[in-house]
Amino acid sequence: MVKELVAAQNDFFATQKTKDVGFRKQYLKKLQQEIVAQEDAICDALYADFKKPKFESLATETQLALAELKHAIKNMDAWSRPERVSASWSNFPAKEWIQPEPYGKVLIISPWNYPFMLAISPLIGALAAGNTAIIKPSEFSTHTSKMLAQIINKVFPPEYVTVVEGGVEVATQLLAEKWEYIFFTGSTKVGKIVYKSAAEHLTPVTLELSGKNPCIVDETATIKLAAKRIAWGKLINAGQTCIAPDYILVHKSVKDALVNHIQQHITEFYGQHIEASNDFARIATHKHYEELKAMLEGQQVLFGGDFKDEDQYIAPTLVDEPELDSTIMEGEIFGPILPIISYEDESELDTYISKYPNSLAFYVFSGNKKFQKRLMDHYSFGGGTINDTVVHISNKDLPFGGVGRSGIGGYHGKYTFDLFSHHKAISKRGTWLDVPLRYPPYTIPIGWIKRIKHLF
């Protein structure tokens, strides 16, 4: 089936239909209508997958996708237009421009943690740029993946866009095909597999991967507000957010205050009986749930720490001063568990931050502008926020993505369109004049060439 779909998309792309911006827009509008019509059903599917609260489903999945759609529909004419550049004087007479063109067939492989948005958001840019697409959603978010397939299959013919459901085996079959672009969101481990498969065909990739995101709180931070914003960013989607703060580095003098305020805010958010709250999600996969439980073994728990196997509930949990070589500090936590580590001198921070280089996100809470700048300038990370968490993702004018171990490429808004477009450089020469300087036999003195610099 994979081979037939790929062949059908090749043939469809070759018809040149997707080169027409009107054609693309018409389909994006249909997609928009269908998402609006199915919004409640999408939220129900997300709830069935991991009890994702409806507010979070709307705010972080459907409405984000709709905002991306609206922005693309409004701007895609302008984005698709050739962009004139000043012609180089050595090419006189000439007109020169950059012409975006679609690559062809795009493969989008998405994870389970934001199973709707992380499949739809890249798709919007891929289609706005004129590509065809196959989406392989996660096998662990079955209800949302089915919903996604239902929506896509209603809106698009399969030779244009389709969803292929399945696990590793299906992903492997898809990766064996030749694609013109691969957009992968998931773990760094699988990202490397995807990158290797892409290299076989020299296929360009975007890899949206993971990291262990530090959150630094110094003694000048507004502690109560910092605690609230950290608790929110950590616990939305039950901590299963690639840009959630992973661990806290807090100045010793404000540690107790920070911990107390985080506890208070958690109780304000979810009440005394957190597992009864409709506003707190569950862990989406059994494997991941077991891994999170194992991370707590032998740790000093300051708050929370309880879990419930029946529905994969893990309480918001604060862990006190874990050893650097403990499981919880090995890699990304990806759940509602937050290690709190104190420091006394700024020079101690590097031991932690440099142990997990190129985090996907980076957070600093401080009233000291020089301290903020020092950290932001010193470390390489995907993106970050000063005095809040997660919110840098919400501005479509900011590229979202990783660097080094946390990924390759950034998207959202026009960045997604550009990522899925090849930027063709074109020079159109006039024929009424032909300056003879560049042609052999070479008669101009060498000294002149050095002075002119651009002979052609």
Question: Which sequence positions are flagged as catalytic?
Answer: 208
With contacts defined by CB under 6 A, name the span among 67-75, 100-108, 180-188, 435-443 that binds ligand NAD: 180-188
Backbone angles phi and psi of 120, in degrees to 5: -75, -40
Q: Judged by CB under 6 A, does residue 199 bind ligand NAD?
A: no
Please enumerate in sequence order all residues whose Cβ is within 8 A of that of 265, keeping only pairs 6 or more positions apart, or say none. 227, 228, 231, 232
Q: Judged by CB under 6 A, does residue 209 bind ligand NAD?
A: yes
Nearer to ligand NAD, 322 or 383 (CB): 383
The nearest distance, CB 244 to ligand NAD, in angstroms, is 9
User: Which residues, 100 to 159, sit near ligand NAD by CB under 6 A?
Assistant: 109-113, 118, 136, 138-139
With contacts defined by CB under 6 A, name the span among 22-30, 124-132, 184-192, 427-435 that binds ligand NAD: 184-192
The nearest distance, CB 163 to ligand NAD, in angstroms, is 11
Please give the Cα distance from 421 to 40 (Å, whole number).
33
Burial 23-42, CB ≥16 within 10 A → b, else e:
ebbebbeebbebbeebbeeb
In the 8-state DSSP scheme, what is residue 59? I
- In the shown chain, the binding pattern of residues 214 to 253 toward ligand NAD, with x for contact by CB under 6 A and - for none, equals ----------------------------x-----------
Nearer to ligand NAD, 334 or 417 (CB): 334
User: Which residues, 348 to 367, sit near ligand NAD by CB under 6 A?
Assistant: 360
Nearer to ligand NAD, 208 or 418 (CB): 208
Residues 136, 141, 147, 152, Cα dihedral to 10° = -20
In contact, 393 and 400? CB cutoff 8 Å: yes
The nearest distance, CB 8 to ligand NAD, in angstroms, is 22
The nearest distance, CB 327 to ligand NAD, in angstroms, is 16
The nearest distance, CB 399 to ligand NAD, in angstroms, is 12
Please enumerate in sequence order all residues whose Cβ is within 8 A of that of 16, keeping only pairs 6 or more positions apart, or say none. none
CA angle, residues 348, 291, 350, in degrees to nearest 5: 10
Amino acid, res. 112: W
Nearer to ligand NAD, 142 or 220 (CB): 142
Please give the Cα distance from 298 to 416 (Å, whole number).
44
The nearest distance, CB 211 to ligand NAD, in angstroms, is 7
Judge if the upstream peptide bond of residue 441 is cis by omega within 30 degrees of 0. Answer: yes
- Report the residue from 65, 124, 126, 190 that binds ligand NAD according to the rule CB under 6 A: 190
Q: Judged by CB under 6 A, does residue 399 bind ligand NAD?
A: no
Nearer to ligand NAD, 94 or 193 (CB): 193
Beta bridge partners of 107: 134, 182
CA angle, residues 116, 120, 122, in degrees to nearest 5: 130
Beta bridge partners of 431: none
The nearest distance, CB 269 to ligand NAD, in angstroms, is 22
Please give the Cα distance from 12 to 156 (Å, whole number).
12
Nearer to ligand NAD, 193 or 225 (CB): 193
Please give the Cα distance from 135 to 184 (Å, whole number).
10
- Report the residue from 245, 335, 399, 407 that binds ligand NAD according to the rule CB under 6 A: 407
Q: Judged by CB under 6 A, does residue 193 bind ligand NAD?
A: yes
Q: Which of 108, 363, 81, 366 is nearest to 244 (CA)?
A: 363
User: Which residues, 8 to 67, sit near ligand NAD by CB under 6 A?
Assistant: none
Nearer to ligand NAD, 100 or 111 (CB): 111
User: Which residues, 306 to 335, sit near ligand NAD by CB under 6 A?
Assistant: 332, 334
Judge if the upstream peptide bond of residue 204 is cis by omega within 30 degrees of 0. Answer: no
Using CB under 6 A, list all residues that contact ligand NAD: 109-113, 118, 136, 138-139, 167-168, 171-172, 175, 185-187, 190, 193, 208-210, 242, 332, 334, 360, 402, 407
